[in-house]
Amino acid sequence: MRRTRTGIPAEHSWQAAVVQYLEDSVGKLSLDYDKAHFQKLDPYLRGYRLRNLSMSALRPFIRDRKQKDGVANGTINRALETVRHVLNVARDERDQSARADGIGWLEVVRDGAAVCTFSAGAFISGGGTN
């Protein structure tokens, strides 16, 4: 599998991450809830690469769930929690793979400062990479 410099598989899509998450979560008590969230999220996130996900990709989901479906903020927050969890799992797998390949998860930029190349926290707060 070809990898980018950051250690994230170049072809790792949102759908692939969800499928992997579901396969790894067999037996989880709340798996049916996660599946329901993924079904609602799919039209909005289908086709995205993990590295391109940001809060701007989720704003239409949040808007539609509030306006069209009339759901409570807590329901939306639980769906966003499943997104965050999938991203954290993908990040952890990427970090383990990068360490095994000798690729660090910090990338050095021109001025010599180290920056994290992927952050689920930044994604959730709206500062993800586009």
Q: In the chain, how many domains are there?
A: 1
What's this model's pTM, rounded to 2 decimal places? 0.65
In a domain, 46, yes or no: yes
Length of the chain: 130
Nearest to 115 by CA among 105, 127, 100, 129: 105
User: pLDDT tens digits for 93-129?
Assistant: 766 665 555 544 444 444 444 444 443 433 333 444 4
Quote the CA–CA distance of 18 and 23 in Å, as a whole number: 9
In a domain, 130, yes or no: no
Q: Quick one: how many helices (H) and strands (E) in the chain?
A: 5, 2
In a domain, 95, yes or no: yes
What domain range includes position 72?
A: 14-125
DSSP 87: H
In a domain, 103, yes or no: yes
User: pLDDT tens digits for 30-67?
Assistant: 999 999 999 999 999 999 988 888 899 999 999 999 99
